[in-house]
Amino acid sequence: MTVPDAKQTEEVSPEELQALLDNEAVRLIDCREPDEHALCRIGGAVLIPLQQIPAEIEAVRGEGGLPIVVYCHHGMRSLNATQFLRARGMADVFSLRGGIDAWSLVVDQEVPRY
């Protein structure tokens, strides 16, 4: 699977994210709080809590110009982060639809739900 067209969607499904992780380099950003991140996470994700994203745009962007997928618990905070980042010129940013909860239900049942 290739990265979705950012003009057509702001979100990727858990299945789409899994396909991206299997086939392409993607930067994962966890915008939850540290205590949530400590409970469970998707491997390789960088923790940048939502409230820190405005001050950490360069950390979100990272190096290499990779597409970015942001996730939270159920997908609302990550959608807000995605919209914020896109408004600041970062086109290849997507939110994980349903958050880590959907990821746990659909892709990786080993990830604890809370």
Question: Is 0.85 surpassed by the pTM of this model?
Answer: yes
pLDDT digits (tens, 9 = 90+) for 27-85: 999 999 999 999 999 999 999 999 999 999 999 988 878 999 999 999 999 999 999 99
Cα separation, 87 vs 43, in Å, equals: 27
The residue range of the domain holding 74 is: 11-106
Count of domains observed in the chain: 1
Check pLDDT > 90 for residue 3.
no
Label residue 71 exposed, middle or buried (CB < 10 Å: 0-12, 13-18, 19+): buried
Q: Is residue 6 part of a domain?
A: no
What does the pLDDT read at residue 43? 93
Q: Is residue 70 part of a domain?
A: yes
Q: Is residue 5 part of a domain?
A: no
Q: Is residue 38 part of a domain?
A: yes
What does the pLDDT read at residue 4? 62
Check pLDDT > 60 for residue 7.
no
Q: Is residue 3 part of a domain?
A: no
